[in-house]
Amino acid sequence: GRLVVRADAFPSARCCKFYGFLTWPCLFPPGAMPRVQHLEFWVSYWSIAIGEVDCGMNHLPSLEHVKVTLQRDRFTVNGVDEEVDIAKALLRRATEAHPKRPTIEIYST
């Protein structure tokens, strides 16, 4: 199955951590998690690097800190370091574009 989040989900949550499965910020529609200040998630570095995943976080208005673990795909190919660097740059750009400019920690496996 696939995780589906409604626009009115988690109205009081201030911290949201997703472990054990890949996710990304755009999974949450505008209106979901309006008070989340701290967001942790795992995402495929490849899906970010090829543009499959939108890293935008502007729809999370209270966001102050993001912790991301970039997960290797089972389809790892040559040039992994380049794709990881691209994914990191896109994630940093997303936090820089956010009105509150949240801090970000990025780890890779």
Q: pTM of the prediction?
A: 0.86
Alpha-carbon torsion, ordered 66, 72, 76, 81, to 10 deg: 50
Per-residue confidence (pLDDT) for residue 76, from 0 to 100: 55
Per-residue confidence (pLDDT) for residue 35, from 0 to 100: 96
Per-residue confidence (pLDDT) for residue 91, from 0 to 100: 95
pLDDT digits (tens, 9 = 90+) for 40-68: 988 888 888 888 888 889 999 999 999 99
Domain ranges of the chain: 15-108
Residues in the chain, pLDDT under 50: none
51, 89 Cβ separation under 8 angstroms = no
Per-residue confidence (pLDDT) for residue 1, from 0 to 100: 54
Neighbours of 96 (CB within 10 A): 10
Per-residue confidence (pLDDT) for residue 6, from 0 to 100: 84
